[in-house]
Amino acid sequence: MSDLNRVRTRFAPSPTGFMHIGNLRTALYAYLFAKQNKGDFILRIEDTDLERFVPGAIDVIYNTLKDAKMEISEGPNEGGNYGPYVQTERKDIYMKYALELVEKGAAYYCFCDKERLDSLVNKDGVKRYDKHCLHLTKEEVQERLNRGDKYVIRQNMPTEGVSSFEDLVFGHVEVPNSELEDQILIKSDGLPTYNFANVIDDHLMKISHVMRGNEYLSSTPKYNLLYDAFGWERPQYIHLTPIMKDATRKLSKRYGDANFEDFIEKGYLPEAIINYIALLGWSPKGEQEKFSMDELIEKFSISGLSKSSSIFDEAKMSWLNGEYIKELDFDTFMKKATPYFEKSSIKDRYDYSKFGKLLQSRIEKFSDIIEKVEFIDDFKEITKDQYFNKKFKIDENVALIVLEHTVPMLEKIEFTEDNLHAVILKASEDLELKSGAVYTVLRIALTSYNVTPGGSVEMADILGKTESINRLNKAISWLK
């Protein structure tokens, strides 16, 4: 298939820091659509806003896409037939095309200084350029260029009529040309604005489908006028609704909301994050919520994209992440869990794998481990009403009887799970109690907690014989 007929999508982030969830979703949809159509997914770095450039941010972009398992077809590191794939390395390309527009009358030099621009405020308090420099003669323009006056190059917008286009999500969109300001194409530093560079790059890189946020819907007619001025075919547009923090506020990179690295640090799995954000703005057919990347590629559809914004629900993502954690093989689970055990209160003091067996099905993200293990050292005096349990007809007197009968038996055995179960069953038989009652008495006595991630046998196994016997004897003394 030639590039002219091939689906080619691009992800074009600015290297300004971490990977915001909204940006990652745009990348994901572009990736899914390209792969579903056996096309290409291109990474392009839009770094012309030098003031916002953050060193190391390109590495963050690459690491995020790698963790998310999005394979890049062409990009700064991968190369390709349409590079360079970093905008600051394409400066001469943009100037060439800007000058071509000037020759066509579709753009013009503007020499207005800041003072004049600041004065261009209409009755509504809105700044809007008034085409002042469009009326300079060629001789006047050349004279000012010869003497080195600072300039920008502006697009010459039509003032009458309507510009329209078809969006694959929003359908027919039209904007009166009178609303289109003569935007800057080339800045005074010689670098292009986003509004110009994205058009030049998308055309030269043969991008077939442009995916971006719907805040660009009203700007797209400006871009189309550029395509038309050059006589180029327009790409197809897919504008995406925003991801919201709540009913009124968008998730915002500027205010430190939701970014990929923070979620990884909290102990979310990359595949769970990707699965969840795929569902923020796209509705698959059927009830399925958990998707592998291959399933997302197979099932993704433009027709399933929403025209309404989505609210980011971290609780829902946590639930989904928990489902992924449950399905990990135990060795993989422990490899990912160990850094969180190392940050917890049990660091270097207990067998992590014993806790891991209890917690794998009980956590939604790995950072939950830190809180989930705190109980083991929070051993405090047991109150008598802790033992009131209607289900097993336990009170403090029954609890004391169970402990005084069971502790001597425990002192005689090696602490293995089989031996511990055997003692508990023998004690319940001796005392004519349900085994659940004995298990409950011992669990509370061992931990001072009514609810723990595991029963008395698991707690005794984790604590070991010496500590377990000490705690049981303390419980006896408290109950007396």
Q: What is the mean pLDDT of residues 440-461?
A: 93
Strand ranges across the sheet with 209-213: 171-176, 162-167, 236-240, 209-213
For 220-268, how does the pLDDT look when each residue is reduced to its tens digit (9 = 90+)?
Answer: 999 999 999 999 999 999 999 999 887 777 776 555 556 899 999 999 9
Residue 314's closest CA among 359, 372, 272? 272
Size (the chain), residues:
480
Rounded distance, CA 421 to CA 298, Å?
49
Q: State the alpha helices, DSSP H only, in 284-326.
A: 293-299, 314-326
With b meaning 16 or more CB within 10 Å and e meaning fewer, what string describes 297-307? Answer: bebbeeeebee
SS3 11: strand
For 230-240, how does the pLDDT look when each residue is reduced to its tens digit (9 = 90+)?
Answer: 999 999 999 99
pLDDT band (50, 70, 90) for residue 5: confident
Rounded distance, CA 302 to CA 125, Å?
39
pLDDT band (50, 70, 90) for residue 392: low
pLDDT of residue 1: 43
Average pLDDT taken over every residue of the chain = 93
The secondary structure of the chain in percent helix, strand, coil, rounded to multiples of 5, reads: 50, 10, 40
DSSP conformation class of 213: E
265: CB partners within 8 A, 6+ apart: 367
Active site residues: 253
SS (H, E, C) the chain: CCCCCCCEEEECCCCCCCCEHHHHHHHHHHHHHHHHCCCEEEECECCCCHHHCCCCHHHHHHHHHHHCCCCCCEECCCECCCCCCEHHHHHHHHHHHHHHHHHHCCEEEECCCHHHHHCCECCCCCECCCCHHHHCCHHHHHHHHHCCCCCEEEECCCCCCEEEEEECCCEEEEEEHHHCCCCEEECCCCCECHHHHHHHHHHHCCCCEEEEEHHHCCCHHHHHHHHHHHCCCCCEEEEECCEECCCCCECCCCCCCCEHHHHHHHCCCHHHHHHHHHCCCECCCCCCCCCCHHHHHHHCCHHHECCCCEECCHHHHHHHHHHHHHCCCHHHHHHHHHHHHHCCCCCCCCCHHHHHHHHCCCCCCCCHHHHHCHHHHCCCCCCHHHHCECCCCECHHHHHHHHHHHHHHHHCCCCCHHHHHHHHHHHHHHHCCCHHHHHHHHHHHHHCCCCCCCCHHHHHHHHCHHHHHHHHHHHHHHHC
454: CB partners within 8 A, 6+ apart: 358, 462
pLDDT band (50, 70, 90) for residue 4: low
Q: Which residue has the higher pLDDT, 472 or 18?
A: 472
For 82-129, how does the pLDDT look when each residue is reduced to its tens digit (9 = 90+)?
Answer: 999 999 999 999 999 999 999 999 999 999 999 999 898 876 778 889
Which token pair is 24? 């990652």
Rounded distance, CA 250 to CA 247, Å?
8
Q: What is the mean pLDDT of residues 351-366?
A: 97
Rounded distance, CA 406 to CA 401, Å?
8
Contact criterion met (CB below 8 Å) for 180 and 31: no
Residue 2: pLDDT over 50: no
